[in-house]
């Protein structure tokens, strides 16, 4: 090869290497999301110097990388390039990795995510097109319209409420969210009320011999052992069985909602069978059904329990942890403020199934 050709080849090689290095440089943080249990977060960064999908920039999209961050150890885990950063919404969590169906390479996780929590995360409520509400001997039919609004009719199919966003039954009436995202109240005959109906229960019968539940946390050398016994009012069972164990490493304290390591209740006074775990810089919530979920902080005085991750809040096992502000529930709706994908403030209400209704 002639010397001139060698120089040209060397220059070309340098250009390719430099171009590749520049193509891997990204900037910014977009669309941060969390793993189902809160151990990890994932976010996108945009290509800084090369963007081969410039026509999509007006739709706030670009090429870039997906990053996985360890929220418990406060360190990055790994990253992978992706054609469009908006595809972060099409990624999936498994027990051992974050993966996609073709848009990027999988990223391995240092600790497993409980399969119970993944199943909870992946499951969704069936899409009901119509259902019935019953109150004080009356029956109403609720059905979805083509514009994702609701109509409510009586047994004679006469429409009584039209084009509403939400309806739920409450004590002595109904709570409704109008198409303008305003809360209204109705009595059992669907007459509009000026204020919420009286929620006082006149009489509530309690059964005599009911099922009783006793749980306790026993501390061993390396584990906390969680035990449970089921009996009846007239027969107190001491036959505890082990339902789970927690590795004591890094756990500073653990207790039930009553802030003790023993919990007793019966069917007349239901309580949540959840355990709180205090670590150095974060907290956890354990349940037999879902295992451990991790948060930055927990407000035990709130009902439902308010949790926070990365300065965003939610209600445990009720709403996602995505809100900047979240008011207490007014019956079945809580007012919120949150940022959308473009950083713009959004306002509205969230129900007890985690569905958001925007103003």
Residue 342: enclosing H or E segment and its boundaries? none
Question: What pLDDT was estimated at residue 222?
Answer: 94
- The answer to whether the Cα torsion of 49, 51, 55, 60 is positive or negative is negative
SS3 content of the chain, % helix, strand, coil (to 5): 10, 45, 45
Question: What pLDDT was estimated at residue 123?
Answer: 62
Question: What pLDDT was estimated at residue 268?
Answer: 78
Query: How many angstroms separate the CA atoms of 21 and 23, rounded?
Result: 5
Question: What pLDDT was estimated at residue 190?
Answer: 95
Residue 280 contacts residue 251 (beta carbons within 8 Å): no
Query: How many angstroms separate the CA atoms of 88 and 10, rounded?
Result: 38
Q: Which residues pair with 143 in a beta bridge?
A: 130, 151
CB atoms under 10 Å from CB of 269, counted, come to 9
Residue 215 contacts residue 262 (beta carbons within 8 Å): yes
Question: What pLDDT was estimated at residue 68?
Answer: 93
Question: What pLDDT was estimated at residue 48?
Answer: 65
pTM: 0.73
Closest to 123 in 3D by CA, of 40, 36, 42:
36
The torsion angles phi and psi of 10, rounded to 5 degrees, stand at -65, -40
> Vertex 195, ends 355 and 149: CA angle to 5°?
35
Question: What pLDDT was estimated at residue 53?
Answer: 42
Which residue pairs, CB below 8 angstroms and at least 24 apart, start in 187-190?
188/135, 188/136, 188/138, 189/138, 190/140, 190/152, 190/160, 190/161
Query: How many angstroms separate the CA atoms of 326 and 315, rounded?
Result: 9
Question: What pLDDT was estimated at residue 147?
Answer: 76
Question: What pLDDT was estimated at residue 126?
Answer: 45
Ordered mean pLDDT values, 10 residues apiece, the chain (359 residues) = 58 53 63 88 78 42 85 91 79 89 83 85 60 89 85 92 94 93 95 87 59 93 94 76 93 95 88 93 92 94 92 92 95 94 89 90
Question: What pLDDT was estimated at residue 176?
Answer: 97
Query: Residue written as tokens 């079945």?
Result: 332
Query: How many angstroms separate the CA atoms of 272 and 290, rounded?
Result: 13
Question: What pLDDT was estimated at residue 22?
Answer: 44
**Alpha helix (H) residue ranges in 149-226:** none
> Vertex 159, ends 156 and 164: CA angle to 5°?
145
Query: How many angstroms separate the CA atoms of 264 and 229, rounded?
Result: 10
Domains of the chain and CATH, by start: 24-118 (no CATH), 130-193 (2.40.10), 205-272 (no CATH)
The DSSP result for 34-70, as a single string, is: E-TTSSEEEEEEEESS--TTGGGGGGT---EEEEEEE
Residue 80 contacts residue 42 (beta carbons within 8 Å): no
165: its two tokens? 């966003």
Question: What pLDDT was estimated at residue 266?
Answer: 87
Do you find a cis peptide bond into 99, omega within 30 degrees of 0? Answer: no
Question: What pLDDT was estimated at residue 253?
Answer: 96
Query: How many angstroms separate the CA atoms of 147 and 359, rounded?
Result: 16
Q: Over the stretch 309-318, which tens digit does the pLDDT of each residue have? A: 999 999 998 8
């Amino acid at each position: 090869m002639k010397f001139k050709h060698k120089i040209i080849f060397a220059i070309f090689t340098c250009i390719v290497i430099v171009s590749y290095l520049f193509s891997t440089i990204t900037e910014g943080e977009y669309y941060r999301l969390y793993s189902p249990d809160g151990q990890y977060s994932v976010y996108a960064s945009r290509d800084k110097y090369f963007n081969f999908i410039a026509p999509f920039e007006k739709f706030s999209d670009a090429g870039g990388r997906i990053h996985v961050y360890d929220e418990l150890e406060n360190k990055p885990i790994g990253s992978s390039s992706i054609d469009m950063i908006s595809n972060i919404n099409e990624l999936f969590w498994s027990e051992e990795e974050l993966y996609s169906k073709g848009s990027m390479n999988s990223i391995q996780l240092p600790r497993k995510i409980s399969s119970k929590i993944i199943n909870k995360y992946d499951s969704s409520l069936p899409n009901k097109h119509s259902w019935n509400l019953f109150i004080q001997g009356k029956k109403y039919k609720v059905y979805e319209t083509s514009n994702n609004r609701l109509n409510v009719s009586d047994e004679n199919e006469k429409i009584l409420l039209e084009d509403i966003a939400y309806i739920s039954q409450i004590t002595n009436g109904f709570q409704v969210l109008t198409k303008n995202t305003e809360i209204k109240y109705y009595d059992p005959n669907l007459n509009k009320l000026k204020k919420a109906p009286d929620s006082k229960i006149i009489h509530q019968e309690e059964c005599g011999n009911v099922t009783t539940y006793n749980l306790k946390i026993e501390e061993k050398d390396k584990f906390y052992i969680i035990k449970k016994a089921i009996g009846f009012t007239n027969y107190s069972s001491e036959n505890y069985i082990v339902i789970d164990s927690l590795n004591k490493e890094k756990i500073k304290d653990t207790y039930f909602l009553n802030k003790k390591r023993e919990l007793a209740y019966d069917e007349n006074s239901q309580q949540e069978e959840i355990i709180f775990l205090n670590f150095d810089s974060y907290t956890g919530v354990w349940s037999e059904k879902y295992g451990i979920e991790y948060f930055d902080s927990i407000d035990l005085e709130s009902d439902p329990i308010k949790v926070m991750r990365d300065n965003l809040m939610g209600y445990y096992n009720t709403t996602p942890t995505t809100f900047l502000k979240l008011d207490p529930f007014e019956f079945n709706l809580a007012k919120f403020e949150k940022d959308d994908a473009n950083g713009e403030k959004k306002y509205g209400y969230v129900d007890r199934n985690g569905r958001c209704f925007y103003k």
